[in-house]
Amino acid sequence: MSTVDYGREALDFIEGLGAYTKVPDAMDALATAFGRYGFEHIIVTGLPNPDQRFSQMVLAKKWPAEWFSLYTQKGYDRVDPVIRKCRQTVNPFEWSEAPYDPDQEPGAVEVMRRAADFRMSRGFVVPIHGLTGYEAGVSLGGVHLDLNARSKPALHLIGMYGFDHIRRLLEPAPDRSMRLTPREREALAWASQGKSAWEIGEILHITQRTAEEHLATAARKLGAVNRTHAVAIAIRHRIITP
Amino acid sequence: MIHVISSVNRHLYEDVLEQHFRVRHEIFVEERKWEALRKPDGREVDTYDNEDAVYLLALENRRVLGGSRLYPTTKPTMMSEVFPHLAAVRGCPSNPLVWEWSRFFVTRERRDGAFNWQLMAGAQEFCLDQGIERLCLVMETWWLPRFHEIGFVVTPLGLPAMIENSWTMAATIEVRQESLDAVCDRIGMTKVLQQDGPRIDCVARANLCGLAAQRKSA
């Protein structure tokens, strides 16, 4: 295929992703798309911090069950050079490009060798780095891969869109009741600065009564027991900035 | 606040614009090493810094902390002239309701997530107000998850390619009230723009640029 063919196929797939409204359907579609490049296994996952467990970070996967249990039981995520490199770069890479020292890191040798036992002798990773510092990645494995300078940009883009789609499907629908009106938010922001309802009324050019109503509605929407509690919740959820 | 600066109110901002060209040189050339943009006078100015550009600059006591630039796609754009291969699949937009978004920057001292979001909110707020429907842009591909995180609808125009050692792609971003609400919710602000002096009408301006281009080619 030419670069433009790869591009058209990838973009058509990305534009069609929205049609999959359930995670298993979206994963099946991704498996088919990545399968065209020879990939047999997919994992969509956040990268665990030292105090997090790998199994809790996985968003979706098509991995051999036996490999997943081996990977988690042995704590391979702690020694996997692919995970290490995924944290350090925003560029997609082949597993073989994740460096490790075979003499000093027997764990890394083991995880790479065992992966090959499960038909994952080669692989490709698309790292995802969010603005608030979350780290994630889409990792693809297989044996006979169509992995070259023309296919990699297509895999890069499908990986990023695939990640975003899975993430959004897993997110609980935003709680509409938590949504404050701009006025409620403003009133709450002033309350967080220690202003009374009378003062807030003066600042916002509304009556004290209206200011009180805004604060009461905001508190109710946030499930707060009083004004102070509402301010605390609003700051915690970054509805207002302290 | 983020100030809207265009040819119709730039007389209020000459000092700020001048400062902003120097900040751009500092960031794009000195820091990010886009050597093609290097200028002997230390002002990063290109072909698209002309009377049709609109700047959204975050100012604090007239000090430039970040910003971006908007440019009508009814004229030749950076995407269509410099990076058309990035839009090889879907083509470069040319439409009065689509404006090119470029030169997004944040000064070193303000590189926290919330400030980035303010600049993103500024672009959405401005376009909604102007009736611009989409932004198009050339960006480093690692920006994509950031836009996704904030809920922007981003559509690729082609595949990423390696440019100056970074994976780079062309895309459009939908201008939507929901996108603005989502980012405003995050930063806890209802409005980020400040518009002083006369206001530009972007779509009329883009239409005019389109007519001029027609006349030239006729």
Residue B218 pLDDT > 70: no
How far is it, in rounded angstroms, from Cα A51 to Cα A74? 16
Task: Give residue B150's pLDDT.
Answer: 87
What is the radius of gyration, based on Cα positions, of chain B? 16
Topology classification of domain A3-170: Beta-Lactamase (3.30.450)
The ipTM, to two decimals, is 0.92
The tens-digit pLDDT sequence of chain A (242 residues) is 777 789 999 999 999 999 999 999 999 999 999 999 999 999 999 999 888 899 999 999 999 999 999 999 999 999 999 999 999 999 999 999 999 999 999 999 999 999 999 999 999 999 999 877 789 999 999 999 999 999 999 999 999 999 999 999 998 655 545 678 888 889 999 999 999 999 999 998 899 989 998 998 888 877 777 888 888 888 877 788 77
Task: Let me know: does A60 contact A28? Beta carbons within 8 Å.
Answer: no
Mutate to test the interface with A, among B86, B89, B119, B152 (most CBs of A within 10 A): B89
Task: Give residue A182's pLDDT.
Answer: 84
Q: Kindly give, in sequence order, each residue whose CB lies less than 8 Å from that of residue B33, ignoring residues fewer than 6 positions away.
A: B164
pLDDT digits (tens, 9 = 90+) for B54-66: 999 999 999 999 9
B12: CATH: 3.40.630.30
How far is it, in rounded angstroms, from Cα B136 to Cα B151? 16
Size of interface A-B (CB pairs under 8 A): 78
Q: What domain range is B95 assigned to? A: 2-217
Task: Give contacts of B155 with chain A, Cβ < 8 Å.
Answer: 15
Q: Kindly give, in sequence order, each residue whose CB lies less than 8 Å from that of residue B131, ignoring residues fewer than 6 positions away.
A: B97, B202, B203
Name the residue with higher pLDDT: B167 or A231.
Answer: B167
Alpha helices in B82-143 (DSSP H): 113-130
Residue B20 pLDDT > 70: yes
Where exactly are the structural domains of chain A? Answer: 3-170, 176-236
* HEC string for A185-211: HHHHHHHHCCCCHHHHHHHHCCCHHHH
Side-chain-side CA neighbours of B215 within 13 Å: the count stands at 6
- Domains in chain B: how many in total? 1
Does the domain made of A176-236 have the CATH classification 1.10.10.10? yes
Please provide residue B94's backbone torsions phi and psi, each rounded to the nearest 5 degrees. -145, 100
Mutate to test the interface with A, among B106, B125, B142, B159 (most CBs of A within 10 A): B159
Burial of A226 (0-12, 13-18, 19+ CB in 10 A): exposed
